[in-house]
Structure 1
Amino acid sequence: MAPVEIGELVRELRKARGWSQGRLAAEINDAFGTALAREYVSGWERGKVRPGPFYLRALARVLDVPAAALAGGGPADGAAAAALAPAVASDLLSTGFAARLRGGPSAGEWEGRLTAYGTDYMSSPAADLQRRVAEDLVVVQQQLDDPRMWSVAARLMTVYATTFSRQECAKTVMWFRMAADAADRSGDTGVRVWVRGRGALTLGYGGTSTGLAELLADQALALTGKPSVGLLHATLGKAYAAALRGDRATALRLADRGRRIFDAAYDPSAQLSDYSIPSWRMNGFLSLLSARLGDEKQATEAREAALRELPERLPRFATHLELHKGLTLVRAGDREGGVACARAALEALPQDKWCGTLQMLMAEIAA
């Protein structure tokens, strides 16, 4: 599957803001003192001309996406096998061709693997999860002959997108976008909403690409109003983006909507998984949102409620909550104490359990 073209991404992000091509040109001109004409934006979007390095940086800034996500390139076939050590690349390629020649897992078997990944996400190291999902992506590439397999591929891509570090955020963006495209080919509305919602939540939570977070969230919200985990993810991702943008009223309105969706979709019997939202996780999401809004009382109450119910076997999530506390302190004016609190929490967690969103939060607090 080819990476999305720069022009398509620019057009989607521009439209998500309700901007005309002229408005996008004006935003760049105001920010950088240039004299960019609307016709140049049109040329970029139609693929007639490629923006140079300067305008790639300008577009990234005004559209709020990582510059690397606009710089071209993308994941190669076979999960970037050509960039791996030859022996590893050989194993991946042979696995993929064997699946095509002899048949791979059935749809039911894939659903079982996806269920396992949802559980493993909660505690497995990101590097281990990334390796395993990459192997499965190589196999499922050879089975994309019907909509069910596109549904499997879309969800695998989404899991894969969550495994990259802060330094690799452009890869996160690319994989979330490809996952959304794959989900569309499945024709399954629930999958289309979940994939986009999960992408919006990750990007909004990490604060690395709020422009794309809002785009994915808006797409999910336009697909259905039926309460679900995916719709909750999309609503919270959009709320995070609004908070980072300084739009307090919108963030609070979306938080209230998120609470209503949670109440309607909550399943107390659901197993511990990335596909479910227990009350402690919902409170964790709200603690970060309140911290970003500078509401110390609400942030503290939500964080403490989450800690009361958080399973002891999930230290990574406890670290998230400590980082929320650090951000709350920084927003309240105690920058030194907040940074020290967050850094101590992160350093106490074994590095193999670090994830991109933790690193992004630490960078936000330190900045």
Structure 2
Amino acid sequence: MSVATGTVVRELRVARGWSQSRLASELTKVSGSNMTREYISRHWESGRTEPSPYWLRHLATVLDYPPELLEADVNRRGFLSHLAATSIAPVVASDLLSHGFSSRLHATGPTVDSWEAKLAQYGTDYMSQGAAQIQQRLTADLVVLQQQLDSPRMWAVAARLMTLFAKTYPGSDGNKAISWYRMAADAADRSEDTDIRVWVRGRAAIALGYEGASLVVANAFADQALAISDRHSLGRLNSLWGKAHAAAIRGDHGTARVLIDTSWREFDHSHSEEQTSDYAVPWWRVNVFLSLLAARLGDEKIAVKAQENARAELPAELPRFATHLDMHRGLMLARAGDRTQGVNIARAALDALPPEKHSLTLRMLMDEVADTKQSSVR
């Protein structure tokens, strides 16, 4: 077990408020085998000894963290990847390699029409499923798809799926998300489809801007998208909102407000009728963008109105976005000076959402509420 992974286990334990003795006691209870504080300290948390798959399973049980939460906090991805490498990865790798080589050797992969249908389904599923579920499915499909990149249409499918895959990593997690967004942009260029090229970069910009992560990169993606084409499109719409969020977080409120106006003019041309796809920006969703942006600007009047507009048309099958709106209210209160109440509201909203529906973005938003200081609204 690496020292880094040992650190993650320790941080998970501390996050629960447990001593090493308490962790040992819990492991003993669930496993029926004796575990001691000394062993945890000297072997696991020091990085000296590798837990067996048996103990890895029990660690996951007592720490009670589903994958999408583990991925979101305190560098826990090391724990997940290490667990996979020791007890899961060989089987998973075998299956993935088998699918990929079978597709290449026997030409049995899905047709481009099938991939486009699958792409549409992912767009819907992303809106309601957790990041871990989407990431697992996308991993398998991308292994197969990379064997079939023999036409611009296939590259267009790949670009959009890679963009979704990037969104299963938080933008603050090293360079994983950014690396995937950049590869998705390269794939989009091979599609020879201007709208896809703009959409991929715009989706990266709004994702990173909304998360408040990698703002320089978010701005760069947005600028690239806007430079590729001045034709009205969802890609341009996402780019403008991404730039607005980046400006607000930097403290450039004047630019953010100008971009709000520009974004609304683009929305008049580029809005979507589709209500439940990640590839769409309908009325309710653009108001979710505005709700968070106004909260970051400290503009309560605009934020409240945006929240009302979003709730009026938000599909009932997408409760995660109602959670976003409640957490925006918590952020607004925290920035206005009532940090305790703001954190309580945001935490209650997140806790009310079933863990399997959590997204990495929500976890990052919770951190933003908890870390915010009173706004210096001008």
TM-score range, shorter chain: 0.7 to 0.9
Q: Which runs of 5+ in 1 are unaligned?
A: 1-79
- Equivalent of 2:152, from 147, 152, 158? 147
| 1:281 alignment partner in structure 2 | 285
- Counterpart of 1:172 (choices 171, 177, 187) is 177
Distance (whole Å) between structure 2 residues aligned to residue 329 and residue 118 of structure 1? 33
Distance 1:165 1:195 in 2: 17
Which residue is 1:96 aligned to?
100
Change (3 A) 1:271 1:345: closer
Report whether the alignment pairs 1:330 with 2:334: yes
- Alignment deviations for residues 224-256 of structure 1 (CA, whole Å, 9 cap, x no partner): 121211111111011100000111111111111
Instruction: Confirm or deny that 1:351 pairs with 2:316.
Output: no
Cα distance change, pair 271–311 in 1 and its aligned pair in 2 (3 A): closer
> 2:250 matched to 1:234?
no
Identity %: 59
Query: Partners in 2 of 1:258 and 1:119 — Cα distance?
Result: 24
Aligned: 1:305 with 2:340: no
State how many pairs are aligned.
287
- CA-to-partner distance for each residue in 1:19-78, whole Å, 9 max, x for gaps? xxxxxxxxxxxxxxxxxxxxxxxxxxxxxxxxxxxxxxxxxxxxxxxxxxxxxxxxxxxx
The residue aligned with 1:200 is 205
Show the counterpart of 1:189.
194
SS at match of 2:147: helix
Shift of residue 181, structure 1, vs aligned partner = 1.2
The answer to whether the 8 Å contact 1:82/1:89 transfers is no
Matched, 1:134 2:139: yes
TM-score by length of 2: 0.73
Q: CA deviation at 1:167?
A: 6.9
Aligned to 1:263: 268
Q: 1:176 to 1:366 in 2, by over 3 A?
A: same
TM-score scaled by structure 1?
0.75
Does 1:214 pair with 2:219?
Answer: yes
The aligned amino acid for 2:119 is: L
**1:139-178 deviation line (CA, Å, top 9, x unaligned):** 1111122222211111110011112257746321211111
| Cα shift readout 1:276-328 (whole Å, capped 9, x = no counterpart) | 11111111110111110110111111112111221222110010001110111
Give the C-alpha shift of residue 83 in structure 1. Answer: 10
- The answer (yes or no) to whether the contact 2:327–2:349 under 8 Å persists in 1 is yes
Distance 1:83 1:284 in 2: 40
Alpha-carbon distance in 1 for matches of 2:128, 2:170: 16
2:224 partner amino acid: Q
The one-letter code of the counterpart of 2:198 is V
Residues in 2 aligned to 1:258 and 1:239: alpha-carbon distance in whole angstroms: 9
Unmatched 5+ stretches in structure 2: 1-83, 372-378
1:314 is the counterpart of 2:357: no
Aligned position for 2:118: 113
Counterpart CA distance in 1 for 2:179 and 2:242 is 17
Task: Say which SS state the counterpart of residue 198 (structure 1) adopts.
Answer: helix
CA pair 166-194 structure 1, distance change in 2 beyond 3 A:
closer
Q: Which has the larger radius of gyration?
A: 2
How far apart, CA to CA, are the structure 1 residues paired with 2:243 and 2:111? 36
